[in-house]
Structure 1
């Protein structure tokens, strides 16, 4: 919870008016959604599809004690402090930058085509072994959510972990310049948003924007086996670079990995006598853990010290979480987002599991792949094997190419591949009719495909 006076806020954002009458009034939180404001809030009326200025009365009713204001002052409520600015969003960003410097925590910034949120959760666990940590909640990882996250941290925060998302070039640069990270992490380069960026090389350029605001003595943590990043880190000194990955050429890599249904254990070259455990499936999640451990090492936390908290880390909902499914099946819900690289990785790890029932994969359309969509959807066939997977259930028009390839290339028999489009009820009913006790079901898709609604109908 922040503690700022109205005068301090006005000076921090270069207010266009004076607030002398209310200068010492205390502000204890900042918000832009009137439904979530609390007593003592600074209301930020954002202008999007709706003009937030229209909701000023509701903000006051909810306990707002001041507001940014970019509409004409004549339209402001009487006897209520408004801080006039040219742009309310820019003012919130400016205030966040001021507050970040005032609290002065270590800043860890995280981006990547996949694994951002899981790495954020793991990094929080590692750093919480010694420090008071504040992190991005949910998907508040854009030009609105990031400054809001900063303004939510308490004044005694020692480390803040900021997830940085993007759709287009230049967006992460804005976030990095605002946050000025001490540590920046790139989880991986995949194909997410390739529709807008045009190539994996352009995606790598966009992810490297996280170094734009990196402090001069800051550290970049990245997957060392990614050639697109190897080419792009040349402007940083060797002292600033830390690499992770499965290969022994990295600064931190696993020696032994054992993955099971609900946990993965491994050791590392840095502390071979310390067995580490993460409560999630997958060797790809070991990479996320390695990135988190490198952040810990960069802040003085030894791997032995981090082991306990890493084993207990809490994964954000809808990321590779096991749920009790219909008719005593087990559902691996990973339906929050997807790109081809991430989908292949989770299928490969799911395929290695042993169980007494069927293994069924339910895959939905992957979005924002542009002209590469058909080829990238079809490429999922590379990791689907009838020796490991009993049934493939596909949803969405974009998945038609995969359904066709699996059957026409004799990878699966026709009765093992089921393709649905339009309403989801027929697919849900098919799965309910099919699922038996001990069956494992993987559900993976882009968020916009909304297979989360299928997860809800198949869980108990």
Structure 2
């Protein structure tokens, strides 16, 4: 666990220290009093609420110092205070300064889907040769990224940073903080189209990941014309020295061959290693693309291919991504309800259709959010990815899923098709009544729909 003196922090953020006699150093950083631990530096952020209002709670939890941008006469006298103009900018400057001090290789990862899985794969690959630190969970925004940096040990050699966004300019900020040596774009999909308006605008926002680079390496899906066109037009020339591409067929640097998918794992070969198979401990052909990106990162870091494949065969996926769980009534749950886009829903449905299971197949889909004016259309078009003959029941939840329900009403027997508007407990109750031994249930939804609560209430794992 890193620690810093007050003077080190003040110098990094351009602040002034008060009450320095109260402590000499801090041993952690927190902007949330619910997770703050003794010895932390408290970061009182100002957004919907003024974080300075929570200073007493922070002191009660053991904060040893705080940043402070409110009038200094309102600052506490019981702990050390570092006065700054803007606590958020100071927090980010602190992280950037510490990153420069430790000076690890920085891998930044963004994309419409697959960021977290790719992050987990890349971190596993990098750890074959280097001490590696990665984003925890989905701490991938303007707060989570600096917190991830400040949580790394001083002897870290590679840091893997997931970079998320909801609107233009956000990844630019993250890239300027992180200054990635290697940048990965997983794919361009429809996520956040509500705020950006088009896939073209999404591709431009994702390319912001190179704006903090200094002649680094960009790894991206070479079969994505929205990226290919912009890169060919010189969008990245000033920042990127090397580009590497991955995909599904010839024309890119690394592409997959001979993919075999099973219920809980996936095997594939590549054009560069045509006689050697790589086995992933997760299902889904679409995850091969994430693995190809991780292979190219490993190659860039100077890791042998044999070691890369070994690490990929054992990597640990972040919770709630394609996670198998024992369910009620002897059922089996496949939990992929942490995030969703039309592209990722189609991909997981293709995988689910292709696996053999001992009992019935049940698909539970919740609303896909942040699609704006295109929400009804994009939900309705999901019918193309659903084969009524390959599933036994389709359970839809949420306001937008009504569009898909209406479309599927003409394709499925009424007894197999169900829609629940706004009460998750009704979904839980229905599934508890209907699930049988050896049923396999896929859950896919955007996080904010609360579908994870449904999974939790149906999971035997959670009850133990």
TM-score band, normalised by the shorter chain?
over 0.9
> Hey, which bits of structure 1, 4+ residues long, moved more than 6 A?
none
- Which secondary structure state, in structure 2, belongs to the residue aligned with residue 362 of structure 1? strand
| Separation in structure 2 between the aligned mates of residue 343 and residue 381 of structure 1, nearest angstrom | 11
Matched, 1:95 2:88: no
Contact 1:7 1:23 in 2 (8 A): no
Q: Which residue of 1 aligns with 2:159?
A: 160
Contact 2:19 2:81 in 1 (8 A): no
- Which secondary structure state, in structure 2, belongs to the residue aligned with residue 283 of structure 1? coil
- Which secondary structure state, in structure 2, belongs to the residue aligned with residue 64 of structure 1? coil
1:274-313 correspondence runs (5 A):
274-313=276-315
Q: Which residue of 1 aligns with 2:333?
A: 331
1:76-115 correspondence runs (5 A):
76-78=75-77, 80-115=79-114
Q: Which residue of 1 aligns with 2:175?
A: 176
| Separation in structure 2 between the aligned mates of residue 31 and residue 260 of structure 1, nearest angstrom | 42
Aligned length: 456
Contact 1:334 1:444 in 2 (8 A): yes
Q: TM-score, normalised by structure 1?
A: 0.95
| Separation in structure 1 between the aligned mates of residue 17 and residue 429 of structure 2, nearest angstrom | 63
- Between 1:167-176 and 1:415-424, the stretch displaced more is 415-424
Residue 8 of structure 1, CA deviation: 1.5
Q: Which residue of 2 aligns with 1:226?
A: 224
Contact 2:361 2:393 in 1 (8 A): yes
Q: Which residue of 2 aligns with 1:187?
A: 186
Residue 23 of structure 1, CA deviation: 11
Residue 20 of structure 1, CA deviation: 9.1
| Separation in structure 1 between the aligned mates of residue 256 and residue 393 of structure 2, nearest angstrom | 32
- Between 1:1-10 and 1:343-352, the stretch displaced more is 1-10
* CA offset digits 1:370-402 (Å, max 9, x no partner): 111111001111111123222211111211111
Change (3 A) 1:81 1:430: closer
Change (3 A) 1:420 1:275: same
Contact 2:18 2:83 in 1 (8 A): no
1:240-251 correspondence runs (5 A):
240-251=242-253
Unaligned runs of 5+ in 1: none
Q: Which residue of 2 aligns with 1:363?
A: 365
Q: Which residue of 2 aligns with 1:149?
A: 148
Contact 2:166 2:192 in 1 (8 A): yes
Unaligned runs of 5+ in 2: none
- Which secondary structure state, in structure 1, belongs to the residue aligned with residue 219 of structure 2? strand
- Between 1:236-245 and 1:328-337, the stretch displaced more is 236-245
Q: Which residue of 2 aligns with 1:438?
A: 438
Q: Which residue of 2 aligns with 1:346?
A: 348
Residue 245 of structure 1, CA deviation: 1.5
Residue 243 of structure 1, CA deviation: 0.9
* CA offset digits 1:286-321 (Å, max 9, x no partner): 111111111101100122112222111111111111
Residue 449 of structure 1, CA deviation: 1.2
Contact 1:390 1:416 in 2 (8 A): yes
Q: Which residue of 2 aligns with 1:49?
A: 48
Q: Which residue of 2 aligns with 1:319?
A: 321
* CA offset digits 1:394-434 (Å, max 9, x no partner): 111211111111222xx322222111112123322222222
Contact 1:343 1:444 in 2 (8 A): yes
| Separation in structure 1 between the aligned mates of residue 241 and residue 260 of structure 2, nearest angstrom | 32
Residue 21 of structure 1, CA deviation: 4.7
Q: Which residue of 1 aligns with 2:2?
A: 2
Contact 2:20 2:81 in 1 (8 A): no
